[in-house]
Amino acid sequence: MPKAKLNPILEQVRGKVGDLVFKRYGDETVISRAPDTEGREWTEAQLAHREQFRQAALYGKMVLADPATRTIYEEAAEAKGKPVFSLTVADFFHLPSVDEIDLSEYAGKVGDEIGIRAHDDF
């Protein structure tokens, strides 16, 4: 892939500008053409997947709006060498797993304890 040194102003540009898309990967800015989706008929599966990504992006924005949670994700992102927002989106798609549910102390009354052991990849 050819490389060129960008004007410092262009290095800060992100998103779509005209027919070009500016993306950041680590310390590099990548420029590509915007995809042509005009007239495309989306399948039900594609629409569902797009909705999942919309929800993941909302989750990422919610996480980054909370200073305490944001700090945790920032530290993990720095350790992994990934952008913080992409780490939040990836975490959205990796749900926690419930390993065990302990009902031995539960008798159906308010205040009875239910023990749950779960783990998460984050």
Q: What span, in angstroms and rounded, lies between the C-alpha atoms of 20 and 31? A: 7
Q: What span, in angstroms and rounded, lies between the C-alpha atoms of 49 and 44? A: 9
Give the percent of the chain with pLDDT over 70: 90
pLDDT for 5 beyond 80: no
The angle that helices 84-93 and 44-65 make with each other, rounded to 10 degrees, is 120
pLDDT for 4 beyond 70: no
Q: What span, in angstroms and rounded, lies between the C-alpha atoms of 90 and 84? A: 10
The angle that helices 67-80 and 84-93 make with each other, rounded to 10 degrees, is 100
**pTM, rounded to two decimals:** 0.62
